[in-house]
Structure 1
């Protein structure tokens, strides 16, 4: 595994380099104009060939950096299908898988602050952009939009171990890393603006695991009676 987190000196925005140690193919995530020098220096120092450019959300700085890297490295820019910029080479959807060398990552669409917001899963880490910050959800998210995103994340994060690392798109008070376990703990206790009262108010929007299990059990029992032999029918001949 080849990995590097890059932090801009101004603003604390974060970008990521992912590389395959076998084929030397690499991916850049959320590279903005102020990350270009550090990102390209790292690529050259490790002998990496840039293949893919990914963004967790779309903005002008990402677009300008992508144009420069496409021209200099011949990389392809991938973004959610809701992004209609002409420089996008690949338009992605929820659950798509992208490959670079012998490595792969999976895309999860998480619209909230922007319609194109996405999370990328690679090995033991998730790259969350502005969807999940170190201390919880973005403070600009309010009301039902916030609750709906929490519902989406609740279902999504269940698919990963609690120790899975969360890499955000910006540092917060010097912190550049979190985990699923920390995010859940903060959400449950209302930290970082994730109000427990708000979750209670809109609890009908959140997945009901107990009800889902009961429906699954009832469906299984129904199928068992439907396809099982009757009392007067031998189970085998």
Structure 2
């Protein structure tokens, strides 16, 4: 089944290489506070578009949100006269809050994530002691994608690849000749994502990355984050399969699965917990919604003590 999905994705990419009308126009929005890249992926023929991995600004010290990052996307969509049909999440992020509900209210579109979000909801629902009022069935999203499922962004075909390892629910979205890989790969000079979160697995991450790097070498790859590798002065988020295979410092061609797992496990043991993991995951497993307000009308985020 996995081979058939890769064959289908490859055929889609090859068709887009041959026909410019099948290549999306991609506009990136970088949020330096969380080092996150959001994307508007548009079909110039129909003006339909998808928004991938949006950011809601959050001041953790004050517990306040704002929408400056999301409003940049709204302004772009409006100025380009685009119609948003999809709001896509590559996974339940641990480093920023999703702005999907805000963008959906402003621009419309169906909110979607991978169906393995149910596993993430179960694990973190228990961690946060969310209770029976928190549904663990993915119903906070409009659509749950399966591995190999196809959809359209206007007249541009897209296919979904399940790429677990960073979390169980990570998905990559391949639209035309472009793949949005979420937290699997970083730029070649920075490496790969961590795999030590609950449900993460370095061995699974390696296999997911090799799956992505089995796509045609010319495939455009778009990262979800960039932190500027040592010696690089500018942020970057676009590369190719060929560049990753030839030069990724963690997982270039020739790095074995066991070598990667040893490196990734050792490296992850030295990494600090992300600053926004507790508010981010708590909100993002709810599709970007905050917990229901309490009797005083205020919504609260829980901080479990000595639990992670």
Q: Where on the TM-score scale, by shorter chain, does this alignment land: which range?
A: 0.7 to 0.9
Sort the Cα spacing of 1:55 and 1:175 in 2 relative to 1 into closer, same or farther, 3 A.
same
1:21: which partner in 2?
A: 44
Sort the Cα spacing of 1:120 and 1:60 in 2 relative to 1 into closer, same or farther, 3 A.
same
Separation in 2 of the partners of 1:36 and 1:201? 36
The DSSP-based 3-state class of the residue aligned with 1:132 is: coil
Partner of residue 81 from structure 1, selected from 115, 119, 143: 115
Partner of residue 226 from structure 2, selected from 171, 185, 191: 171
2:85: which partner in 1?
A: 51
Sort the Cα spacing of 1:109 and 1:198 in 2 relative to 1 into closer, same or farther, 3 A.
closer
1:182 aligns with 2:231: no
Superposed, 1:201-212 pairs within 5 Å as: none
Separation in 2 of the partners of 1:101 and 1:30? 19
Q: Deviations over 1:75-127 (max 9, x none)?
A: 11011112244330011100111112111211000111211101111222211
Shift of 1:3: 1.7
Unmatched segments (≥5 aa) in structure 2: 1-23, 58-68, 118-136, 229-234, 262-308
Superposed, 1:1-237 pairs within 5 Å as: 1-34=24-57, 35-59=69-93, 64-83=98-117, 84-134=137-187, 135-140=190-195, 145-158=201-214, 160-173=215-228, 174-186=235-247, 191-192=249-250, 196=255, 199=258
Count of aligned residue pairs for this structure pair: 197
Provide the alpha-carbon RMSD of the alignment: 2.8
Separation in 1 of the partners of 2:37 and 2:176? 19
Shift of 1:2: 2.5
Sort the Cα spacing of 1:30 and 1:16 in 2 relative to 1 into closer, same or farther, 3 A.
same
Shift of 1:60: 7.5
Separation in 1 of the partners of 2:260 and 2:152? 41
Relative contact order (alpha carbons < 8 A, sep ≥ 6): 1 or 2 greater?
A: 2
Unmatched segments (≥5 aa) in structure 1: 203-237
TM-score by length of 2: 0.57
Larger Rg: 1
Shift of 1:146: 2.1
| Segments ≥4 residues shifted beyond 6 Å | 60-63
